[in-house]
């Protein structure tokens, strides 16, 4: 698979660093949303914990997600660590499709 963008390289680094190819889709999504330095910092914390024997190899992905959730909770506002300022969460779906003629009945 050719990696053409910066977030694809980051996502693949996460997959390989965590040894979790089963959940690579999650890491690709995270790499698109969050800042590279933020995710790499969490990855380094996971690697340190693994090297110190605090976590097993097959628990690295779980540990990574746990740290990510704690960081997001501590920061309160996830927009502080998002990849770009232009990104914003998708509006909630109401089940109704909108078209150009949506207010006309």
pLDDT at position 54 over 70? yes
Count CA within 13 A, CB hemisphere, residue 55: 18
Question: In this predicted structure, what is the pLDDT of residue 96?
Answer: 57
Over residues 10-16, mean pLDDT:
95
Burial grade of 28 (CB within 10 A; 0-12, 13-18, 19 or more): middle
Instruction: State the average pLDDT for the chain.
Output: 81
Question: In this predicted structure, what is the pLDDT of residue 102?
Answer: 54
Predicted model pTM? 0.71
pLDDT tier for residue 19 given thresholds of 50, 70 and 90 = very high
- CA distances to 62, 64, 76 from 23, rounded to whole Å, are 11, 12, 26
Contacts of residue 47, defined as CB under 8 A and 6 or more positions apart, other chains included, come to 17
Question: In this predicted structure, what is the pLDDT of residue 20?
Answer: 93
């Amino acid at each position: 698979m050719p990696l053409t963008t910066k977030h694809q390289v980051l996502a693949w680094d996460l997959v390989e660093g965590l040894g979790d190819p089963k959940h690579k889709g999650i890491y690709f999504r995270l790499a698109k949303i969050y800042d590279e330095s933020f995710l790499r910092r969490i990855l380094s914390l996971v690697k340190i914990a693994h090297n110190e024997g605090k976590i097993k190899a097959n628990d690295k992905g779980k540990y990574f997600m746990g740290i990510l959730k704690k960081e997001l909770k501590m920061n309160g506002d996830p927009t502080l660590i998002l990849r770009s300022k232009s990104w914003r969460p998708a509006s909630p779906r109401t089940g109704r499709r909108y078209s150009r003629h949506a207010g006309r009945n």
